[in-house]
């Protein structure tokens, strides 16, 4: 049974990861290729995003594998033979528990090691891509269109890197068109994205609704180019990029880098352990529901439907617990609410499944 679970777990994981990855890769491909990057850059970004996709998929594929195995055992009458030989539901759940522990170990490796490392590398590569895109703007004597509604022109670039006679048109907002002209400018690379610092210039703002034009002169003005370039944004690192050792307990450097309160960092660290427990609880919950009731010629469709509904409730509790913990500091233990409820429900259902006469007597009464 454990061998079947692992085989089908691999199959469902491959299918779900492929579907999820393709869905996300379409938008990523459009952004990167539109900015002139090669397919190798697209593959690199896809590979860096893959660990996080796998982390999200593993609990679902483990649940699907457990449901499929029990349903197949029932349809082939193997489940009836096993139960008639004296195997209790708790004993039938042992290989599922071992399977859940294996999946929990895989999820732990992903959440504590691979996902934070891949997200950090992805953020660094995003910053490099941002710099490459801004480098494409440094072209003399040519009107460039780095994204829809944006026109950029430089008359001359000095050997010191100073931009002379700069023109920038921003018509992204249909209600307000702005045109920037400057005698000189410099292009700066910051942690939050590229910035164009212009000197001795003029801003012309056209309100399209009223056709009114206003002008403002400036001595120096910093313009954030990342808001106009069609590339993934860069900024402060998010808590999911940090190693668990920096989250439990939150280090002063982590709090300063992310700008998040310590309570959110603690919840992020604790939730990584909860995700592993969730991956173990999901197949146990599904199998326990599948073992309810006796043999039926119509199959186990009612048990399958009940298992799916239970999984939906499981996810609802998990999402509600996350929202509750984010809004109230100190409530990090609720991260374990969903997996503990699922494990408790699985244990209770297995106890009931081992006593079918109890249900029969209550129904008769």
For the segment 251-271, what is each residue's pLDDT rounded down to a tens digit?
A: 787 777 777 777 777 888 888
Let me know: does 253 contact 246? Beta carbons within 8 Å.
Answer: yes
358 contacts: CB under 8 Å, gap ≥ 6: 352
- What are the beta bridge partners of residue 163? 157, 185
pTM above 0.75, yes or no: no
- What are the beta bridge partners of residue 186? 197
Q: What is residue 191's three-state secondary structure? A: coil
According to the model, what pLDDT value does residue 363 have? Answer: 41
Q: Rounded distance, CA 315 to CA 5, Å?
A: 22
Q: What is the average pLDDT value for the chain, to the nearest integer?
A: 80
Query: Where is 117: in which H helix or E strand?
Result: helix 115-135
pLDDT band for position 360 (50/70/90)? Answer: very low
Flag whether pLDDT at 104 surpasses 90.
Answer: yes
Let me know: does 99 contact 9? Beta carbons within 8 Å.
Answer: yes
Who wins on pLDDT, 310 or 262? 310
- What are the beta bridge partners of residue 182? 166, 201
Q: What is the mean pLDDT of residues 193-207?
A: 86
According to the model, what pLDDT value does residue 270 have? Answer: 85
Q: Rounded distance, CA 63 to CA 52, Å?
A: 18
272 contacts: CB under 8 Å, gap ≥ 6: 108, 111, 112, 244
Angle among Cα 291, 292, 298 to the nearest 5 degrees reads: 90
Q: What is the mean pLDDT of residues 222-250?
A: 71
Q: What is residue 265's three-state secondary structure? A: helix
Q: What is the mean pLDDT of residues 52-59?
A: 89
Flag whether pLDDT at 31 surpasses 70.
Answer: no
CA dihedral 322, 326, 330, 332 (to 10 degrees): 20
Flag whether pLDDT at 192 surpasses 80.
Answer: no
pLDDT band for position 365 (50/70/90)? Answer: very low
Who wins on pLDDT, 282 or 122? 282
Flag whether pLDDT at 205 surpasses 70.
Answer: yes
Q: Of the segments 185-189, 200-204, 229-233, 330-334, which one has the largest average pLDDT value?
A: 200-204
Q: Rounded distance, CA 91 to CA 291, Å?
A: 11
Supply the DSSP symbol for 238: P
Name residue, tokens 């313009």.
223
Flag whether pLDDT at 32 surpasses 80.
Answer: no
């Amino acid at each position: 049974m454990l061998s079947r679970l692992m085989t089908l777990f691999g199959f469902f994981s491959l299918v779900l990861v492929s579907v999820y990855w393709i869905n996300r890769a379409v938008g990523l491909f459009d952004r990167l290729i539109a900015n002139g990057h090669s397919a190798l850059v697209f593959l690199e970004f896809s590979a860096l995003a893959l660990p996080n996709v796998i982390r999200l998929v593993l609990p679902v594929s483990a649940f699907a594998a457990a449901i499929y195995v029990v349903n197949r055992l029932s349809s082939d009458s193997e489940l009836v033979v096993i139960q008639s030989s004296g195997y209790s539901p708790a004993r039938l759940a042992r290989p599922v528990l071992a399977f859940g522990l294996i999946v929990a170990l895989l999820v732990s490796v992903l959440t504590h090691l691979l996902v934070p490392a891949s997200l950090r590398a992805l953020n660094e590569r995003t910053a490099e891509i941002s710099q490459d895109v801004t480098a494409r703007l440094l072209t003399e004597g040519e009107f460039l269109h780095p994204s829809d509604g944006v026109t950029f022109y430089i008359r001359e670039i000095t050997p010191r890197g100073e931009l002379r006679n700069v023109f920038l048109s921003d018509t992204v907002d249909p209600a307000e068109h702005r045109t920037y002209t400057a005698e000189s400018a410099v292009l700066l690379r910051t942690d939050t994205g590229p910035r164009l610092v212009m000197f001795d210039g003029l801003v012309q703002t056209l309100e399209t609704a009223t056709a009114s034009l206003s002008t403002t002169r400036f001595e120096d003005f910093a313009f954030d180019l990342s808001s106009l370039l069609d590339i993934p944004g860069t900024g402060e690192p998010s808590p999911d990029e940090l190693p668990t050792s920096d989250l439990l307990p939150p280090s002063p450097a982590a709090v300063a880098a992310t700008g998040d309160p310590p309570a959110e960092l603690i919840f992020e660290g604790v939730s990584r352990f909860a995700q592993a427990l969730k991956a173990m609880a999901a197949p146990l919950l599904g199998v326990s529901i599948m073992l309810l009731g006796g043999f039926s010629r119509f199959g186990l469709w009612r048990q399958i439907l009940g298992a799916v509904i239970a999984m939906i409730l499981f996810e609802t509790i998990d999402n509600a617990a996350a929202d509750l913990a984010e809004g109230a500091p100190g409530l990090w233990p609720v991260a374990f609410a969903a997996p503990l409820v699922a494990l408790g429900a699985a244990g209770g259902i297995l106890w009931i499944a081992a006593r079918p006469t109890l249900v029969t007597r209550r129904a008769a009464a």
